[in-house]
Each structure stands twice: as C-alpha cells, then as structure tokens.
Amino acid sequence: MPKITIIGGGIGGLTTAIALRQAGLDVEVYERASELKEVGAGLSLWPNAIKVLRQLGLGQALAAISVVAPLVATRNPRGDILAQLPSATIEQRFGAAVRIVHRAELLAMLTEALADTPLHLGHECTGFDQDGDGVTARFAGGQTARSDALIGADGIHSAVRAQMFGRTPPRYSGYTAWRAITPFPTAHLPAGEAWGCGSRFGLLPVDHERVYWFATKNAPAGQPPQPGGHKPELLTLFQNWFDPLPAVIEATPEEAILRNDIIDRLPLDAWGQGRVTLLGDAAHPMTPNMGQGACQAIEDALVLARCLKATPDIPFALQLYQTKRLKRANKVVTTSYFIGTVGQLKNPLACRLRDFLAKTMPAERQLKQVDWVVGYDIE
Ligand SMILES: Cc1cc2nc3c(=O)[nH]c(=O)nc-3n(C[C@H](O)[C@H](O)[C@H](O)COP(=O)(O)OP(=O)(O)OC[C@H]3O[C@@H](n4cnc5c(N)ncnc54)[C@H](O)[C@@H]3O)c2cc1C
C-alpha cells in the first residue's frame, strides 16, 4: 500500500487525509502548529465542495454544524438589492445550497473524521529530498519522514512550494479585510454582501444566534490598526450603511475582530515534480471574492485520492491530478481577483455603472455566470 505524507493540517490537508484513507492509502499528516486550530471566522461552502464532502460521507456531519445561507444577495450601501440568488434556486440547480460554517467547527469535524490517521503536531517541514524510490520530508526539529509521495498542503506561504518554485512575495490585492463572528440574532438578517465605493460589507448567519461578518477597504499594504482599534475605524467607515450593519459592528468585541491584507499568488503552470505535489492554498492561493479557496482545496482532495487509487505509478498519478485540477483552480484564482477589483471600484461613476449592470442582469444569466464553478461535479 503506497504511503503518503501530507504537510499541513488545514482544511485542505485534513480533507485530503480523509479522502486518501478512504481510497485505501497509508497516510500521515505533519502540522507545524502544536495544536490544530482555525481563526474565529466563518466560511461559506458552495455546492461544488458540499457534494465532495457528501461523497466522503461527511454530509450529515457538515449539516449538523452549518446553516444554509438563506439568500446570496448583493446590495448597495442603502440596502437595495442589486442581484440575488435564493437558496432554493441554488439547491435546485446545483444539488446543494450554500452553507455557512464556523471555521474552527469545520476543522473539528474533519479532525474527528480523521479517526486513527497519524497526525504529528509541532512538525514544521523545512524541505524534502526525493529519489527514484521515494521522498523524504525534513522537519525543523531534525526529524524526517520517508514515503512514496509528499503532498504540500501547507498554505499560501508553503515551504514545499518554495523549494520547487522559489520563495516569492504574494501579490497584494490593494484592499484589506476585517472579519469576525459575533452573537447577534439572525432571524431577519439581510444576508449577503453590500458593495460601496472602495469598501464592501458581508453578513452571514452561522446559526440562529451568531453572525459572521466581513468588511473590506482599499488601503496600502501592511497598515497598522488605528490607535483606537479596529472598531472605531469600522464604525466610521460603515456608519451610513443600512441597518443592521453598524449595530453588528457595535455588537462585536474588539478582540474578536481579525484583520488581514488580502493576498494571493499568480497562477503556476505546474504544481509538482516527481513524487511531490501541492494542494489547496499552497497550489492556488486566491482572494476570497468567490468564497472558493477552501472549496477548491476540498475538490483537490477527492481528485488526488482518485488519481492515487487509479494507478500504482505515483509520479504519473500526481501528474494526472495536476492535469485534472490546475486549469480549473487557476481560473478561479483569476476570476476571484477580477471580482475583487470590480467590488473595490472607487470611482463613483464606475460604481454606478457596476451597480446598474448588476441590477439589470437577468437571474438566468447570473446563474450561468456561476455554473462553471459552483455546478462542477467530480465524475
Ligand atoms: C478573509 C478570507 C475569507 C475567506 N472565505 C472563504 C470562504 O468563504 N469560502 C472558502 O471556500 N474559502 C474562503 N477563504 C479561503 C480559505 O480560507 C483557504 O483557501 C483555505 O483555508 C485553505 O486551506 P489550506 O488547508 O490549503 O491552507 P491553510 O488553511 O493555510 O492550512 C495550511 C496548514 O499548514 C500548516 N503549515 C504551514 N507551513 C507548514 C510547514 N512548513 N510545515 C508543516 N505545516 C505547515 C499551517 O499551520 C496550516 O495548518 C477565505 C480566505 C480569507 C483570507
């Protein structure tokens, strides 16, 4: 039975471990952190990823920790709907609704599904050596791990990727983002994303009592928080936006607010060499504008497992995985980047034109625009 080493215990690495185990492979996961954790924020999972999780037998577990996004709507800062896709329409067309989940709860669900798959915490991969017979991962503590294949699922700053393709800085999108989960009644929540000029605000239920929100603003890279903290800056930025946006910010404890500059990387034209390949953000880090980063990592996991199951020739299986995944994932990277550029337009005239086009686009055309990504089925 081929032995596979996975570097990284994030959503991508853990889903891959589950899929590979189910395909009958011998898997071990090596994670840098001393405990598995995710940030206190939400995540939207689209039908393309939900259908993969169902195939891995995780559909019910996911349903138990997530809620259906009632409406995928785009609004203006007054709250007028510019475009909307009701949950029932999405479910009918794509076979699953969009679900919102707490990241930490998703990671806990995946960790439980790992069962007895070995997971080595506190192991920071520093590089690897490969030969005709196998590959050896090296770790900062001096340990090594020998296997038939090495999967770099070690995120946007991947050490595995850096060894193969060089250590380069990520691309800054030109905007920064804040996000948090906060207690807030969700019964009448106007779920979706609102587009202003140079800033956006998203609001999604995590359950009946908690809201996941995110906000963006055009800004130079690496700006420190303002002296009063994130909250006063956000309250000023969104003070005239529709209810309950200011109230949601007000209800959020300052320490619950995370801020990240939004980055990605230009697409690669190869993900691996020989017995080594990349997966998830290590392979195709993307801006979050389509809510697809984790969804694509989940797709990667199942495709990789199928390829490794199909043939004992490991380099061939990894090449097949790359052939099946690279073009699609790269298209999501470039489309996400483009959507972010449009969403962050600053010029008021350009914003008016954007909003007009969104408002007048027929519903069927909106669905067609997301068909290729959301309606994708791994055969
Ligand atoms: C603001 C924001 C909102 C987002 N919203 C969504 C969304 O709604 N839907 C969606 O699908 N996606 C979303 N994403 C993207 C999503 O978060 C990522 O695509 C996804 O988490 C990637 O998972 P991963 O496992 O590939 O990488 P990561 O989550 O980065 O995991 C990598 C793991 O590898 C470990 N690691 C790193 N280096 C090493 C090393 N050298 N050795 C060992 N271990 C190592 C890390 O500790 C980590 O545990 C969003 C991203 C952002 C920034």
Burial class (CB in 10 A: 0-12, 13-18, 19+), 213: buried
252 pocket-lining for ligand 1 (C-beta < 6 Å): no
pTM of the model: 0.97
Considering only CA atoms, which of 297, 227, 231, 291 is closest in space to residue 259? Answer: 231
Q: Is residue 336 part of a domain?
A: yes
Q: Is residue 254 part of a domain?
A: no
Q: How many domains does the chain have?
A: 1
Considering only CA atoms, which of 174, 171, 237, 150 is closest in space to residue 201? Answer: 237
Q: Is residue 288 part of a domain?
A: yes
Beta strands in the chain (DSSP E): 3-7, 26-30, 42-45, 66-68, 71-75, 81-86, 99-102, 119-120, 125-130, 135-139, 144-147, 149-152, 171-183, 192-195, 199-205, 210-218, 258-264, 276-278
42 pocket-lining for ligand 1 (C-beta < 6 Å): no
Considering only CA atoms, which of 37, 357, 346 is closest in space to residue 198? Answer: 346
Regions of the chain where pLDDT drops below 70: none
Q: Is residue 211 part of a domain?
A: no
pLDDT at 270 (0 to 100): 98
- Cα 243 to middle of ligand 1, angstroms: 32
Tokens of 235: 């309250």
**Distance separating alpha carbons of residues 141 and 138, to the nearest angstrom:** 9
Residue whose CA is closest, atom 35 of ligand 1? Answer: 8
32 pocket-lining for ligand 1 (C-beta < 6 Å): yes
Domain of 102: which CATH number? 3.50.50.60
Residue with the two structure tokens 């914003």: 351
Q: Is residue 112 part of a domain?
A: yes
Q: Is residue 186 part of a domain?
A: no
Q: Is residue 203 part of a domain?
A: no
- Ligand 1, atom nearest to 33 Cα: 47
- Cα 203 to middle of ligand 1, angstroms: 21
Considering only CA atoms, which of 176, 152, 366 is closest in space to residue 273? Answer: 152
291 pocket-lining for ligand 1 (C-beta < 6 Å): yes
Per the structure, the complete domain to which residue 83 belongs is given by 3-169+264-374
Tokens of 280: 């998830």
Q: Is residue 240 part of a domain?
A: no
R_g of the chain computed on alpha carbons: 21
What tens digit of pLDDT does each residue of 191-234 get?
Answer: 999 999 999 999 999 998 999 999 999 999 999 988 889 999 99
